[in-house]
Structure 1
Amino acid sequence: MSKKDNHKVHPTPDWLTSDYLQEKLGIYLKNSSLKLEKLHAKPAIANGENYTSVIIRINVEYTTKETKDKQALTFLVKNTFADREPAGDVLINYGVYTREMDVYENILPQLAYILRNELKDPRKFFAATINVDRERDSIIFEDMSLDHYKVVCRRTKVDLEHTHLLLEKLASFHAAASVLAERRPGIYAKNYDRGFFNKYTRAYGPIMINLLEALSRSLSSDQELGPRYKAKIDRLVERLMDYGEKSTTNNPGDFLTLTHGDLWTTNFMFKYDEKDHPINAIFIDFQFCLWNSPAIDLHYFFATSLQDHLRFDHQTELVQFYYYKLVDALKKLKYSGRIPSLFDFQLQFRSRGFYAVFCSLLFEPVMQYEGKEHASIEQILSDSESGMRFKDSVYESEAVKKKLSITLRFLDQFGLLDDM
């Protein structure tokens, strides 16, 4: 995004009071004598970094009976959009808020136990959950920036060293999630079937189609790309949601797991050693977790977060790297299901290839947006002059046009822009 503040800043919710936080922290720290002395709240992320929720960083000072000296603590509060904004009206159809609360309250603690005690990996995978409040649709969790975890720049993206580390951690996460499903049949049966594409709702359809139409308009004046790709993009407008559903339909014999579902640079963090090499990676933001093929996480990550030379020149070998890490973790955890061969897994990856289309052509340009227009889901949905200006400006920058010339050719060679 541009340095200009072009997003609405959401106020701190009225219910997020000193008394409320004092009660929740007292429970988490198992100290009923905890007394909040000071509270400061501010937005936790830059405007434009998140389109689906409000995240607030809370700094508090407190005392207890055991120590009269003030203790400091910082944590994050994640809350749904207030006032029933268009973003909330879309996302409510996907159950993302109740799902993420369930993930933080029930799923992640079990996965963390498996990863730590059975896979014998002492590294963190997720932020600790402090409190889940279903009445207020909010989650309080550990602020990993205090332990020097950082997100990478969404414009420079991740290099090979970061990619290998993240794929290793992703493979372990996927393996543990599959093993948990074996041990707890039905644990993902409710509310883990609604990703961006699903058979229950197409509420995201207008967002994707409006962006695809903006891409088509940009190709109208592009003498190089327009003649080659505009007609294909126009046909895709009518078929986008059908192809998306097809790309996430599970087939007999597919290896399935709990996928993150929204795996891009804002939703994972790295910790570094004294020489600035990444030594650990953790996952955050689990609103779009989905019981599906791990290939959708790979496509999403590759399309939105890899440096270009890695995605376009080394994608197949990165899938192989991930696959061997996955198999190793599954065997260590004594997974009893069928483990696909590398050949079968590569086919499974290719069969989910359309997932890369919407990530590459719709989501990534918005993620990379640096223009001056107000950026929001409301703007993407709007046919107003301001909304049209924003959508068109997403595809106007020279950087986006240059990237599209590579991306469109890359997708087209796999037949992903043709009738399927």
Structure 2
Amino acid sequence: MATTTTKIKYSVNYIQKALAQAYQSENLHVENVETATRKQNGENFCSDIYRLTVKYRKTPESPIEVGKYVIKNLYPDVAVMGTCEKLLLLQILPAMDEILGKASPSTEHKLNANCLYCDPTPGTEDYLLEDLNALDYTSMDRQKGLDLYEAKICLQKLGQFHAASMVLIQEQPELVGKLPPSQYSKGLEFDLGRVIILNGTDYAAKAFAKEMPEIAAKMKAHLRDTYAKRMRSVVDPKNSAFNVITHGDLWVNNILIHKAAEKAVFVDFQSSFVGSPAIDLHFLFYTSLELDVLLHSQTELLQHYHESLTNTLKACHYTGSIPTFQQVTDEIQRCLLYGYYAAVCELPICCATREASEDFGLHTFEDDEVMRKKRGQLFTNPRFLKTVRSTLPIFHEKGVLETP
């Protein structure tokens, strides 16, 4: 029996136990494990990812099978704080998959990487997942962003995802009720809110002060109280025309696409909550689209999303009111602050260059001075600069930066 080729805490016995449970075979025996670490700084802030190739027999007499898997290990500090990923992977996503499967068994409806095993040890979040790369799903280029073709594939899947969640909200409200609210529901005065939004916006306002003095002044005036109050309003589900289970962190690194089959899946469900669909739409648009697509194809993409949402709800025999396209666009307008937040605060992190990502990790957010220096690198990124220079005047024109 071979040991893993990368030094990690996951022994062959651990993997054997996980697969035995996943395949419901007490006599499953692992013959060999090959492991590689998939760790790119600036991309996985909260976890380590290991890719496994495992040779195993389900019984002593069975032929050797080869499986490809991913182990996702959340950092202890993150796991102790708690995320909603375990709830999503073990209960909510399987329920949504069942809803879609019953509605249209022949229609492609895969939402995520199947979770085969979750370590039950208290205070840990370790998952054994199917390897999506082995199923021909690939990651997109975060430096380039999604083109119109790729974006439509993602919006098709997002429509399915949101529709299935609406059915689940209706059919199993107790289950959905276990989801915590948005981290921004109580304001921005917590560590990540302060570092990412308050400090990030302040830095951006100073960076663009000479170039856009009126806008920069309003960005500064918007901090802190007005921004926090309006963000709470945006993420409050009581203010939405209709609600879905949001992904909560939908950007290019958390989406894999199978181009030949024109389908996509989502990963990393640590930040999901019930709220407006515009939360996911704005975050995706302002962190992950090519600038030309962002500026000129939003209506086309929203129509594509709405068609997928509507068709899926009808296929699922949803008994509630099916949202109109006008309701979708109204939510986009109501939640435009979230697009502003995504463009100014999240985009520089999401499109960080390889050089800027070299020493970028969770520790960076924990030290204000280190983060300030890091922003000096992030704010030189050509994609970020072009996007923000193009979108800040739009946010300004549409009143996002106004204060009482």
Q: Shared fold (TM-score greater than 0.5)? A: yes
Partner of 1:413 in structure 2? 397
How far has the Cα of 1:200 moved from its partner? 7.8
Residue 280 of structure 2 is aligned to residue 291 of structure 1: no
> Are the structure 2 counterparts of residues 250 and 26 from structure 1 closer, same or farther at C-alpha, using a change threshold of 3 Å?
closer
How many pairs align?
391
From 197, 202, 205, the counterpart of 1:216 = 205
What's the TM-score, normalizing by structure 1? 0.86
For 1:35-46, list aligned pairs within 5 A.
Answer: 35-46=29-40
Structure 2: distance between partners of 1:413 and 1:316: 18
Structure 2: distance between partners of 1:394 and 1:73: 39
Partner of 1:110 in structure 2? 95
> Are the structure 2 counterparts of residues 296 and 253 from structure 1 closer, same or farther at C-alpha, using a change threshold of 3 Å?
closer
Residue 232 of structure 2 is aligned to residue 238 of structure 1: no
Structure 2: distance between partners of 1:12 and 1:353: 45
> Are the structure 2 counterparts of residues 352 and 12 from structure 1 closer, same or farther at C-alpha, using a change threshold of 3 Å?
farther
Structure 2: distance between partners of 1:242 and 1:357: 15
How far has the Cα of 1:178 moved from its partner? 0.9
Q: Which amino acid aligns with 2:219?
A: I
Contact kept, 8 Å, 2:154 with 2:264, in 1: the verdict is yes
- Residues 112-166 of structure 1: CA distance to partner in whole angstroms, max 9, x if unpaired? 1221221342342221111112423211110010011101111111122222222
Partner of 2:253 in structure 1? 266
- Residues 257-293 of structure 1: CA distance to partner in whole angstroms, max 9, x if unpaired? 11111111111111132xxxx5211111111111111
- Residues 228-284 of structure 1: CA distance to partner in whole angstroms, max 9, x if unpaired? 3221221233133322212112336721111111111111111132xxxx5211111
Contact kept, 8 Å, 1:18 with 1:39, in 2: the verdict is yes
How far has the Cα of 1:413 moved from its partner? 1.8
Q: Which amino acid aligns with 2:116?
A: I
How far has the Cα of 1:34 moved from its partner? 1.9
> 3-state DSSP class of the match of 1:187?
helix
Residue 235 of structure 2 is aligned to residue 248 of structure 1: yes
Structure 2: distance between partners of 1:265 and 1:321: 18
> Are the structure 2 counterparts of residues 314 and 286 from structure 1 closer, same or farther at C-alpha, using a change threshold of 3 Å?
same
Structure 2: distance between partners of 1:249 and 1:337: 20
Q: Which amino acid aligns with 2:75?
A: F
Partner of 1:282 in structure 2? 265
**How large is the RMSD of aligned CA atoms in angstroms?**
2.3
Contact kept, 8 Å, 1:206 with 1:381, in 2: the verdict is no
Partner of 2:3 in structure 1? none
Partner of 1:4 in structure 2? none
Partner of 1:349 in structure 2? 332
Q: Which amino acid aligns with 1:303?
A: Y
What's the TM-score, normalizing by structure 2? 0.89
Structure 2: distance between partners of 1:43 and 1:281: 23
> Are the structure 2 counterparts of residues 331 and 396 from structure 1 closer, same or farther at C-alpha, using a change threshold of 3 Å?
same
> Are the structure 2 counterparts of residues 406 and 122 from structure 1 closer, same or farther at C-alpha, using a change threshold of 3 Å?
closer
Structure 1: distance between partners of 2:170 and 2:32: 46
Q: Which amino acid aligns with 2:23?
A: L
Partner of 1:161 in structure 2? 149
> Are the structure 2 counterparts of residues 216 and 174 from structure 1 closer, same or farther at C-alpha, using a change threshold of 3 Å?
same
Q: Which amino acid aligns with 1:415?
A: G
How far has the Cα of 1:92 moved from its partner? 5.5
User: Which stretch shifts more, 105-114 or 144-153?
Assistant: 105-114
Partner of 2:112 in structure 1? 126
> 3-state DSSP class of the match of 1:251?
helix
Q: Which amino acid aligns with 2:258?
A: K
Q: Which amino acid aligns with 1:158?
A: L
Contact kept, 8 Å, 2:254 with 2:268, in 1: the verdict is yes
From 302, 305, 323, the counterpart of 1:340 = 323
Unpaired segments of 5 or more residues in structure 1?
1-10
User: Which stretch shifts more, 159-168 or 235-244?
Assistant: 235-244
> 3-state DSSP class of the match of 2:56?
strand
Contact kept, 8 Å, 1:57 with 1:74, in 2: the verdict is yes
Q: Which amino acid aligns with 1:334?
A: H
Q: Which amino acid aligns with 1:72?
A: V
Contact kept, 8 Å, 1:115 with 1:176, in 2: the verdict is yes
Structure 1: distance between partners of 2:118 and 2:383: 41
> 3-state DSSP class of the match of 1:340?
coil
Residue 149 of structure 2 is aligned to residue 149 of structure 1: no
Contact kept, 8 Å, 1:100 with 1:287, in 2: the verdict is yes
Contact kept, 8 Å, 2:112 with 2:266, in 1: the verdict is yes
Structure 1: distance between partners of 2:171 and 2:189: 32
Contact kept, 8 Å, 1:268 with 1:282, in 2: the verdict is yes
How far has the Cα of 1:388 moved from its partner? 2.5
Unpaired segments of 5 or more residues in structure 2?
1-5
- Residues 43-63 of structure 1: CA distance to partner in whole angstroms, max 9, x if unpaired? 224222121222221232223
Partner of 1:205 in structure 2? 193
- Residues 50-78 of structure 1: CA distance to partner in whole angstroms, max 9, x if unpaired? 21222221232223445575432221111
> 3-state DSSP class of the match of 2:25?
coil
How far has the Cα of 1:403 moved from its partner? 2.6
Contact kept, 8 Å, 2:286 with 2:294, in 1: the verdict is yes
